[in-house]
Amino acid sequence: MRKLFNKDKAIIGVVHLLALPGSPRFSSDEEVRRRALRDAFALYHGGVDALLFENFGDVPFSCKAEPHVIAYLTSIIEEVKREVPLPFGVNVLRNDAPAALAIASATRGEFIRVNVHTGARLAPEGIIVGEAHRTLRYRSLLRSRVKIFADLAVKHSLPLANQSLEEEVAACVERGLAEAVIVTGKATGEPPGIEELEQVKRVSSVPVIVGSGLSAENCSALLSFADAAIVGSSVKEGGVVTNPVSEARVRALMREVARLR
């Protein structure tokens, strides 16, 4: 058993930030902070093991975050962590690993999520190229202990060339030095296939994380072949990703997870 955060079948709840200043859907700084704190409290009181902060509302995404995005993310995370005592990670969409690493290092986060760590994928943002070499050297420069959780064939993207999951695992772990790998469905809220999870679990030497689509109904099946999961849509009110987190839905999920531990 490969544990994350000293938990069997660790559950990481996503704090989907509303649009930050400068984004088309930005409303107000107060509303962004209020929602972040509310969702983090709901996840914490519902029983999750860790949090993941994402600038989810900043559509359309850039592959390189503006300085103010990094500043606001850092400020909001610092505000939330004073109230919610959970380990956490950072994902700066879409794929700004150095920015995520800088934020996590400064705020004492434990991990970052990198959508494309090695290789390249075709996405709505264009061709996203993994820069594992840059991320790892930047981590060394910062003398940071923040871990890298890397997606495999990440959702909302297509491959530029045929590559097996085994080859992608090897690239992320052996060449990219990722400390965990993430398996997703094709889009937000869609679970990965059981066959894919089983395949990754068989060849991966690091923890395997379900990256999308986990719910109270399917967690038993999915966590049979995974060490942890990142949850977002299924614990929102009505199961809608843009809605606030439902503490009742979080509790329902964690009751099922408790049966697996």
| Percent above pLDDT 90 for the chain | 89
| Cα distances (Å, whole numbers) of residue 74 to 48, 79, 106, 114, 194 | 22, 9, 8, 17, 36
| Cα distances (Å, whole numbers) of residue 152 to 8, 116, 118 | 22, 8, 9
Q: Model confidence at 1, in pLDDT bands (50, 70, 90)?
A: low
pLDDT in tens, 80-121: 999 999 999 999 999 999 999 999 999 999 999 999 999 999
Q: Would you state the pLDDT for residue 15?
A: 98
CA distance 160 to 249: 38
CA distance 55 to 70: 10
Buried b (16+ CB within 10 A) or exposed e, 149-168: bbbbbbbbbeeeeeeebeeb
Q: Would you state the pLDDT for residue 156?
A: 85
Residue range 49-78: mean pLDDT, rounded: 96
Q: Would you state the pLDDT for residue 189?
A: 83
Dmax (CA) of the chain: 46
Residue 230 in this model has a pLDDT that exceeds 80 = yes
Residue 25 in this model has a pLDDT that exceeds 80 = yes
Average pLDDT, the chain: 95
As to burial, measured by CB atoms within 10 angstroms (0-12 exposed, 13-18 middle, 19+ buried), residue 148 is buried
Q: Model confidence at 185, in pLDDT bands (50, 70, 90)?
A: confident
Using N-to-C axis directions, what is the helix angle for 67-81 and 97-107, rounded to 10°?
30
Residue range 3-26: mean pLDDT, rounded: 96
Q: Model confidence at 70, in pLDDT bands (50, 70, 90)?
A: very high
Residue range 1-16: mean pLDDT, rounded: 93
Q: Would you state the pLDDT for residue 162?
A: 83
Residue 22 in this model has a pLDDT that exceeds 70 = yes
Q: Model confidence at 155, in pLDDT bands (50, 70, 90)?
A: confident
**Domain 10-260 class, CATH top level:** alpha beta
CA distance 206 to 169: 10
| More confident of the two residues 26 and 125 | 26
Tokens 């290789």 label which residue? Answer: 119
Residue 50 in this model has a pLDDT that exceeds 70 = yes
Residue range 169-191: mean pLDDT, rounded: 93
Encoding tokens for residue 149?
């959780």
Beta strands 120-123; 180-183: pairing state? unpaired
| Three-state DSSP state, 192 | coil
Residue 7 in this model has a pLDDT that exceeds 90 = yes
| More confident of the two residues 35 and 155 | 35
Residue 181 in this model has a pLDDT that exceeds 60 = yes
Q: Would you state the pLDDT for residue 27?
A: 95
